[in-house]
Structure 1
């Protein structure tokens, strides 16, 4: 997984931690708080896409 470049003030390890948190605490798009960090929102959006295309998620 490569750094997204969304937030230059977040190092790679912190980004991975946020992505993991996003997956473990996933909520549907309509329940997401827009003030969450962009990396968290991006990872939840990725999970949305995986749920719609399960063959590509594996």
Structure 2
């Protein structure tokens, strides 16, 4: 019985460690209506694994 409980606890801890990180998609549009108002703003807020999608248009900024 103790062995069964130990195995269940071990499996639960391993499952918690192996869950994938949640990546986020950031959308930037020239009119500022996306998740971030600028490309640089999206870069500053993004974490490892996140993706940044830039809509069409001319962006007047330095990245």
Larger helix proportion of the pair: 1
Larger radius of gyration: 2
- Answer 1 or 2: which has greater strand percent: 2
Common fold: TM-score over 0.5 = no
TM-score, normalising length from structure 1? Answer: 0.28
